[in-house]
Amino acid sequence: MDAQTCLKKLQYVGVLNFATVGLDKSPQVRCISAVHYEPDALYFFTARGKEFCRELLHDGQVQILAYTRYKEMIRVSAKAVVVPEEEQKKYRELIFQEQPYLANVYPGSTREIGIIFCVRDMQIEYFHLGVHPIFRMQYTIGNGEKKPKGYTITGDCIGCGTCAGVCPQGCIEPGEPFRIMQEHCLHCGSCLEHCPVQAVRNIKEEV
Ligand code: SF4
């Protein structure tokens, strides 16, 4: 698995969920298939009058989510930017060619109400629940940053093995301290709840 394969999987899914934060701070999510895929970028179409467009122009923060039939979750966290004016027509026409239904939604020149955004610098989370043990990994494209999350076992570990016994994925290996195999961890928190000496920490609280 790699970042480019994740983007290809988004393309296979075809209809993606785009989440933003509304101007009133409420969560907003919508399904979008007007997307053009490149190996290192996503281009998407919306209309200038839509709340979605206003939210993107406001701060550009967006999460894009897809779930495959094989139980793979792919989540992109990124900042969307408006494509330069001189490239707007090129990407709009490309998206309309690739998604012919759009000509029904925006016939003729009415498509000119559209605006094309691009996502280039992205963090990608891949999470496969269809294998055992489950598999997760983070990737980046451009200037996207990996953001650590999940749990870790600190030097306070006394080696009792309680955490390994309650881990649903069997992804904690013995050692001094015991170690969580991060690529197989569900982030369920069972090890943290059961550790008798509070040696398990949430990574987000550590950084
Ligand atoms: Fe196992 Fe859950 Fe702890 Fe991950 S968070 S190591 S899956 S018990």
Give me the CATH topology for the region 3-141.
Answer: Pnp Oxidase; Chain A (2.30.110)
Q: Check pLDDT > 70 for residue 179.
A: yes
> Is domain 151-206 classified as CATH 3.30.70.20?
yes
Cα angle value 18/90/101 (rounded, 5°): 55
Ligand 1 centroid from CA 123, angstroms: 23
Percent above pLDDT 90 for the chain: 97
For the chain, the domains span: 3-141, 151-206
According to the model, what pLDDT value does residue 206 have? 67
Atom 1 of ligand 1, nearest CA residue: 167
What atom of ligand 1 comes closest to residue 166's alpha carbon?
8
Digit-coded pLDDT (tens) for 120-139: 999 999 999 999 999 999 99
pLDDT bucket at 205, cuts 50 / 70 / 90: confident
Tell me the residue type at 40.
D
Q: Check pLDDT > 70 for residue 4.
A: yes
Atom 2 of ligand 1, nearest CA residue: 188
**Contacts of residue 78, Cβ cutoff 8 Å, sequence gap at least 6:** 62, 63, 64, 119, 120, 121, 122, 123, 144
d(CA 199, CA 73): 30
Question: What is the radius of gyration, based on Cα positions, of the chain?
Answer: 21
d(CA 63, CA 65): 6
d(CA 126, CA 75): 7
* pTM greater than the 0.75 cutoff: yes
190 lines ligand 1 (CB under 6 A): yes
Residue of 183, 70, 167, 172 lying closest to 125 (CA atoms): 183
What atom of ligand 1 comes closest to residue 150's alpha carbon?
5
What atom of ligand 1 comes closest to residue 189's alpha carbon?
5
d(CA 69, CA 40): 24
As given in the structure block, the two tokens for residue 104 are: 């029904």
Digit-coded pLDDT (tens) for 19-57: 999 989 999 999 999 999 999 999 999 999 999 999 999
118 lines ligand 1 (CB under 6 A): no
pLDDT bucket at 207, cuts 50 / 70 / 90: low
Residue-wise DSSP of 138-183: EEEETT------SEEE-TT-----HHHHH-TT--EE-SSS-EE-GG
Phi and psi at residue 143, to the nearest 5°? -95, 20
Tell me the residue type at 12.
Y
Digit-coded pLDDT (tens) for 148-178: 999 999 999 999 999 999 999 999 999 999 9
